[in-house]
Amino acid sequence: MNTMMDIHEILKYLPHRYPLILVDRVIHFEPNQRILALKNVSINEPYFVGHFPHHPVMPGVLIVEALAQAAALLTLKSLKAENDKNQVYYFVGIDGVRFKKPVMAGDQLMLTVEIARQIKGVWKFQAHADVDGQRVTDAELMCTARAID
């Protein structure tokens, strides 16, 4: 079983597009369990123009968003539910977020997300991001799919 996903397959599951697609590749995928994905942090990212021009740091909220996109990929691929234009996969909670080290232009952000539990369509995840084997962010995420009205 091929556990990797390239950007073309990722785009089949996520509705996000440039400049907000924050997962470049899936390295490993275990259905209903775990995903390991990566985001290449390039100086060409539009947020670096203002955050901060003299010291380019990836905004923490975007690190959490990258983790959420990895969580969405884990859920949607596990369910074999490609992008459905009639629903959106939303955050419903973020707990215990800790930023331990800045993520800089040129870093490769490794995103690890594991399913903690799923109850009544709400998925809870344990997630963390690492750069060069060092933890940069920890978070507990909760997400669900909702129909678009």
Q: Mind listing the pLDDT tens digit for each residue in 104-142?
A: 999 999 999 999 999 998 999 999 999 999 999 999 999
3-state secondary structure of 60: helix
pLDDT at 84 over 90: no
Q: What is the domain partition of the chain in residue ranges?
A: 7-147
Residue 1 pLDDT: 56
pTM equals 0.95
**Residue 51 is among the residues annotated as catalytic for this protein:** yes
State the architecture of 7-147 in CATH terms.
Roll (3.10)
Q: Which residues pair with 136 in a beta bridge?
A: none
Say how far apart CA 1 and CA 14 lie, in whole Å.
21
pLDDT at 145 over 90: no
Consecutive H or E run containing 61 = helix 60-78
**Catalytic-role residue among 51, 54, 55, 128:** 51
Is the backbone peptide bond immediately before 125 cis, with ω within 30 degrees of 0? no
2 pLDDT band, cuts 50/70/90, is low
Q: Mind listing the pLDDT tens digit for each residue in 16-69?
A: 999 999 999 999 999 999 999 999 999 999 999 999 989 999 999 999 999 999
Give the residue from 80, 90, 69, 58 showing the smallest Cα distance to 26: 69
